[in-house]
Chain A
Amino acid sequence: MAGIADLGVGIGWRSEIDLTVERLPGVDFVEVVAENLHIGHLPESVTLLLERGIPVLPHAVSLSLGGADPVDLNRVEHLGKVAEAVGAPMVSDHVCFVRAGGLDSGHLMPVPRTKDALDVLVANVKLAQENLPVPLALENVAALLEWPDGELSEGQFLAELVERTGCWLLVDVANLYANARNIGTDPERFLDEIPLERLAYVHVAGGEHHGDVYHDTHAHAVLPEVLGVLDELCSRVRPPGVLLERDDNYPSDTEIASELAAIRAVVDKHGPAQWLN
């Protein structure tokens, strides 16, 4: 199997924390939000990281691959151009929809786990793959509500998606925790059901509880419970990479560094690679 190279521990590059990302020790790779970059005008900070040999992976949020409409090839083309501009080995987006009926939700909405939705998702993913210069990884999202009449578990749904499209998986352990809390998904069952050999890398993020609902805010500290899900994942497979996402309410460099160190400690606890490419 042609796998993805070992990425290590990384952080989502954001313009608000560009200097932090540049000076933090132990940043092995970064992600950039593809929609925020303009071809030909890469931020200086991203160029600096590239010059240092840090892999930069474009992460998209607007393809709406789980939407009913055929995927917008202009958006796919932009993602591909960003990948080429930063020499990325892989790009990613989510298993979700953001647009429907002429409206834009402004957020990553879960898709129904039905055969219909899977057929449409598969067709969209294949079209995107045909128009991308590098492999595509797809991420599980955090859901606040559950569609009725689901025919597959979330893990089964993603396993089918991988089988039919050959895509990679970007597993967000904070989203797994959120879904466990909010809609009763079982993270262990999820990890049992997905093809771990197709794991591209892992996302970790912070959030907070409001009453009995967990909000995946990316603006609060990473909860120990989320690191617990990462621990569970690492007990099954050594992830090629783990990346911290922080999008708002930025803490001090020290706090970010300690979150990265905590992530690395969980990964390293499980020893050397169980499989590598």
Chain B
Amino acid sequence: MAELNDPSAARERLAAAQAELLNALLANGPAPAGFDEQRLNVERRALLSKRRGIVRMLGPAVADELGDRFRPLFDAYAVEHPRRAGSRAREDAAAFAEWCRAAGELSANRKARWKFWQSN
């Protein structure tokens, strides 16, 4: 290939910038220079909302048991535990449930709320 320029220096600069942005958006890190604060908040809320929706979908029984507490608890969990690269959404849902149990927010021995042979 004609293009032999090594992008390693560019990779390093880009890695720092992207890591700083995700740290701000996912882990309450400081806002990176040059970004619009309001836009960062919009993005932060959008990412959190998407993640919350996926965890709700994957663990409806947990969300049901928590009721109105689901959202504030999930949001507190999420910022303490940003999703690690390589982790799966199901692991996120399981870790949230575990976090809630450890905090006494979920019953330790979760009773089945319905049986598959019952309708709803």
A interface, size bucket: 35 or more
Closest to A123 in B: B7
- Indicate if the CB atoms of B46 and A101 lie closer than 8 Å: no
Q: How far is the CB of B113 from chain A (nearest CB, A)?
A: 23
Q: How far is the CB of A207 from chain B (nearest CB, A)?
A: 12
Q: How far is the CB of A36 from chain B (nearest CB, A)?
A: 12
Residues of chain B at interface, number, CB under 8 A? 40
- Indicate if the CB atoms of A145 and B10 lie closer than 8 Å: no
Q: How far is the CB of A126 from chain B (nearest CB, A)?
A: 7
The residues in A between 99 and 121 inclusive whose CB is less than 8 angstroms from any CB of B are 99-107, 109, 111-112, 115-117, 119-120
- Indicate if the CB atoms of A145 and B3 lie closer than 8 Å: no
The CA-CA distance from A122 to B4 in the complex, in Å, is: 12
B13 contacts which chain A residues (CB < 8 A)? 116
Cβ 8 A contact of B19, one of A101, A107, A115, A146: A101
Interface Cβ pair total, 8 Å cutoff: 105
The residues in A between 157 and 171 inclusive whose CB is less than 8 angstroms from any CB of B are 164
Using an 8 Å CB-CB cutoff, how does the interface string of B1-35 with A read, 1 for contact, 0 for none? 10101010011111101111111011100000111
The CA-CA distance from A27 to B85 in the complex, in Å, is: 36
The CA-CA distance from A45 to B106 in the complex, in Å, is: 39
- Indicate if the CB atoms of A103 and B3 lie closer than 8 Å: no
Q: How far is the CB of B13 from chain A (nearest CB, A)?
A: 5
B-side interface mostly: helix
The CA-CA distance from A101 to B20 in the complex, in Å, is: 8
The CA-CA distance from A158 to B89 in the complex, in Å, is: 31
A164 contacts which chain B residues (CB < 8 A)? 3
- Indicate if the CB atoms of B36 and A146 lie closer than 8 Å: yes
- Indicate if the CB atoms of A106 and B14 lie closer than 8 Å: no
B20 contacts which chain A residues (CB < 8 A)? 101
- Indicate if the CB atoms of A101 and B84 lie closer than 8 Å: no
- Indicate if the CB atoms of B54 and A145 lie closer than 8 Å: no
B83 contacts which chain A residues (CB < 8 A)? 103-106
Among B37-45, B66-74, B94-102, the stretch that binds chain A is B37-45
B40 contacts which chain A residues (CB < 8 A)? 145
Q: With an 8 A cutoff between CB atoms, is A215 at the interface?
A: yes
- Indicate if the CB atoms of B43 and A97 lie closer than 8 Å: no
- Indicate if the CB atoms of A100 and B43 lie closer than 8 Å: no
Q: With an 8 A cutoff between CB atoms, is A68 at the interface?
A: yes
Cβ 8 A contact of A122, one of B3, B12, B36, B43: B3
The residues in A between 113 and 153 inclusive whose CB is less than 8 angstroms from any CB of B are 115-117, 119-120, 122-123, 126, 144-149
Q: With an 8 A cutoff between CB atoms, is B108 at the interface?
A: no
- Indicate if the CB atoms of A104 and B47 lie closer than 8 Å: no
B51 contacts which chain A residues (CB < 8 A)? 106
**22 pairs from A and B in contact (CB 8 Å cutoff):** A68-B19, A97-B18, A100-B85, A101-B15, A103-B26, A103-B82, A103-B83, A104-B86, A106-B54, A115-B10, A116-B10, A116-B13, A116-B14, A119-B7, A120-B10, A120-B11, A120-B14, A145-B36, A145-B42, A146-B35, A148-B35, A149-B34
Cβ 8 A contact of A112, one of B14, B23, B89: B14
